[in-house]
A and B are shown apart, each in its own frame.
Chain A
Amino acid sequence: DAGITQSPRHKVTETGTPVTLRCHQTENHRYMYWYRQDPGHGLRLIHYSYGVKDTDKGEVSDGYSVSRSKTEDFLLTLESATSSQTSVYFCAISETFGAGSTYFGPGTRLTVT
């Protein structure tokens, strides 16, 4: 299994509070991604990173920001959580961009009340 951990694994928070999810990898892969998974929508890309301090938006980036200060860590921040951001969030890594095998973390289940 690829060395990807996510923290926390579960979180319940209130509307309007900031939330940060962390993804940590031990594979030294260049590319890291944040996806959210929702019933009826499948996996949707939020943001991705192609190197330290290099990030770009995915298809559902509104309300989210990311940071990558080290190769191994990719943070996803919800500046002011909303109920529509209740979801399961997955971090993923890959050696090459959009090609080759992409490996996923175990997921973080976030509930915004």
Chain B
Amino acid sequence: SQELEQSPQSLIVQEGKNLTINCTSSKTLYGLYWYKQKYGEGLIFLMMLQKGGEEKSHEKITAKLDEKKQQSSLHITASQPSHAGIYLCGADGGGNTPLVFGKGTRLSVIA
């Protein structure tokens, strides 16, 4: 079965700093999804990546899928307190299976 490993597990950054979260798959990714979860709330869909080398941006968040389609990174530029939360990657491994998820990265942004 497909497994996703996220790193780091937790991250504390100072407001205004850049940061990167990684998601590595044990198998080729047919689709990679990034979600954000605010503490105590549901998951909010951020972005979907499907093609090798694909990059998408939304406001100050950029996600990339590597050419081999086994690793994705989420980069936040000039972090703000509103970016705090848990970021989860989810993967479509193909073969008609539900999404599987990484364990999440907990991000704290301090003033």
Contacts and interface: CB of A to CB of B under 8 A. Distances in A.
Contacts of A42: 88, 101-104
B45 A106 contact: no
B48 interface: yes
Interface string A86-109: 000010000001111111111100
B38 to A, nearest CB: 11
Nearest to B30: A99
B24 to A, nearest CB: 14
Q: Which of A43, A59, A106 has the most B CB atoms < 10 Å from its CB?
A: A43
B88 A43 contact: yes
Contacts, number: 52
B12 interface: no
Interface residues of A, number: 22
B43 interface: yes
B97 to A, nearest CB: 5
Contact of A101 (B1, B33, B96, B97): B33
Given A40-B103, A41-B103, 17 more contacts: A35-B101, A42-B101, A42-B102, A42-B103, A43-B101, A58-B98, A90-B43, A98-B94, A98-B97, A100-B48, A102-B45, A104-B35, A104-B42, A104-B43, A104-B45, A106-B42, A107-B41
